[in-house]
Structure 1
């Protein structure tokens, strides 16, 4: 048995970090579901209500992230590297920020029409957050490493798809959109959505780093 395995055996299992990480990842799914509902909403007058709900969840994510950092300051023994705990919390918070940023731009820019690429992006964001949550929930015991790595691979694939959709959509905007202001608005929304998938990939990278250090 390796020294690291012996150490892990004596680390208390009832720490608050795992439940907090799970809450943060579940919160991302809730935000992504609302974003998907937003871009598929036929009645634009109801957008404000959905945007407010997403903003409330983003604030909840901030509170969870703050609690994780508080626990980091109070606990000498942590389930894995302190720097990785900090980075994972920050990465999850970044995803929430850009999901909120996407919905906020849709509302602020008062987009008349939601485009197909935006709907596709919202679907991909939801898929990515679901895999983030699956991987995070497996962190408790690190017994199902394959499940975590599979989720990370899927997140990377989703991010690649989002890149393609973003590049193609922006290319078409420059080719067909004659209104410069509308072009900027749509590009900004698409950029925020694409960045949300980038941030999910950042979470996957942190999770893979944790696996390497605790293998």
Structure 2
């Protein structure tokens, strides 16, 4: 019997509530990112606004899931992996949702009608990152496919590096070529929220890599 099998044998069934909660949180951010990509690629402002409102509702749903994870963490003495890792992973996924919502809210509140190419590219990268995040989290429940988790984490890190480059280049171009100071501020705020969403995906990947090392 492998060490992971022994580990799973001693995890009480009640403690396994964490895994479906994490999967729900991950599925929720995938849905949010999917709606975001649909919104930024829509030229219909009314449709875009409705999609942004969907993102807002989904973020509240994510808050409820995160709160439930914290409640379970407080109720359960025995956990499937380190308590600090459970808290860190839940917080990172919640931060992904917060920044997806933040970017959508800024687009809506700032009345940015013409979305830049870097915004579209960063939105696509956010979706790529959360898809890999969801894949990795789905494998956490039994740790049988460690390679799949590690590969997803590597891809998330790669996406985050791409997002960094796009963000830096986009901000540099704003400062160099854009004469409207308000537009510079608005666009930079939106780009920052999108890039930070990929940062939070990387934070979640780092937590999962830590879990793999501890349970190897």
Give distance in 2, aligned partners of 1:55 and 1:75. Answer: 31
Q: Which runs of 5+ in 2 are unaligned?
A: none
Matched, 1:48 2:32: no
Matched, 1:139 2:140: yes
Matched, 1:186 2:184: no
Q: Which runs of 4+ in 1 moved over 4 A?
A: 1-5
Q: Which runs of 5+ in 1 are unaligned?
A: none
Q: Is the 8 A contact 2:21 2:69 kept in 1?
A: yes
Deviation, 1:3, is 7.7
Give distance in 1, aligned partners of 2:6 and 2:131. Answer: 32
Match of 2:155 in 1: 154
Give distance in 2, aligned partners of 1:181 and 1:65. Answer: 35
Q: How does 1:38-117 map to 2 (within 5 A)?
A: 38-117=39-118
RMSD of Structure 2 on Structure 1 (CA): 1.5
Match of 2:120 in 1: 119
Greater shift after overlay, 167-176 or 94-103? 167-176
CA distance 1:40–1:3, change in 2 (3 Å): closer
Give distance in 2, aligned partners of 1:118 and 1:3. Answer: 45
Match of 1:176 in 2: 177
Match of 1:24 in 2: 25
In the TM superposition, what whole-angstrom CA distance separates every residue of 1:9-55 from its partner, at most 9, and x where no partner exists?
Answer: 22124521000000000000000001101110101122221111001
Match of 1:11 in 2: 11
In the TM superposition, what whole-angstrom CA distance separates every residue of 1:118-145 from its partner, at most 9, and x where no partner exists?
Answer: 0000000000000000000000100100
Tell me the TM-score normalised to structure 1 length.
Answer: 0.96
| Count of residue correspondences | 215
3-state SS in 2 of match to 1:168: helix
Q: Is the 8 A contact 2:153 2:209 kept in 1?
A: yes
Give distance in 1, aligned partners of 2:108 and 2:2. Answer: 54
Give distance in 2, aligned partners of 1:127 and 1:3. Answer: 32
Match of 2:165 in 1: 164
3-state SS in 1 of match to 2:170: helix
Deviation, 1:2, is 8.4
3-state SS in 2 of match to 1:149: helix
